A and B are shown apart, each in its own frame.
Chain A
Amino acid sequence: MDFEPKIVAFVCNWCTYAGADLTGTSRIKYPVNVRIVRFPCTGRIDFMLLLKAFDEGADGIIVSGCHPNDCHYTSGNFHARRRWMIFRNLIDFVGIDIRRVAFSWVSAAEGAKWAEVVTDTVGKIKELGPYSEYHQISKSFDGGAK
Chain B
Amino acid sequence: MIKAMKNKSLELLTSQEVRVVIGYEKGTKCSTRPSFFFLPEDIERMVFDEECKNNLAVYLTKENIKNYGRLAIIANDKTLQSIVKLISENQIREDNLFVLTPGSEDGQVIVLNSIEEIKSFVNKSIPSQKEPDSVDELVARIRKMSREERWKYWQDEFARCIRCYACRAACPLCYCTRCTVESSQPQWVPVASHVLGNMEWHIIRAMHMSGRCTDCGACAEACPVNINLQALTRVVRESIQDEFNLTTEEYLEGNNVLSSFKPNDNETFIR
Chain A interface residues (CB < 8 Å from chain B): 47-48, 51-52, 55, 68-69, 75, 78-79, 81-97, 102-105, 117, 133, 137-138, 140-141
Contacts and interface: CB of A to CB of B under 8 A. Distances in A.
A86 B210 contact: yes
B199 to A, nearest CB: 7
B271 A95 contact: no
5 contacts: A78-B261, A88-B269, A103-B271, A104-B271, A105-B270
A86 B240 contact: yes
Contacts of A103: 269-271
B181 to A, nearest CB: 11
B204 interface: yes
Given A68-B263, A86-B210, 16 more contacts: A78-B261, A84-B269, A86-B236, A86-B240, A86-B257, A88-B269, A90-B206, A90-B210, A91-B203, A93-B150, A93-B235, A102-B271, A105-B270, A117-B271, A137-B196, A141-B194
Contacts of A87: 207
Interface in B94-117: none
Q: Which 10 A-B pairs have the closest CB atoms?
A: A95-B151, A95-B150, A78-B261, A89-B239, A104-B271, A103-B270, A141-B196, A94-B154, A93-B235, A137-B196
B271 to A, nearest CB: 4
Contact of B155 (A85, A95, A105): A95
Interface in B133-172: 142-143, 147-155
A85 B265 contact: yes
Contacts, number: 112
Nearest to B150: A95
B232 A81 contact: no
* Interface size of B as a range: 35 or more
Given A94-B154, A95-B152, A95-B153, A79 B235 contact: no
A133 B203 CA distance: 17
From A88, A94, A102, residue with most partner B Cβ within 10 Å = A94
Interface of B: 142-143, 147-155, 180, 188, 190, 192, 194-197, 199-200, 202-204, 206-207, 210, 232, 235-236, 239-240, 243-244, 257-263, 265, 267, 269-271
Nearest to A78: B261
B203 A94 contact: yes
A82 B203 contact: no
A81 B270 contact: yes
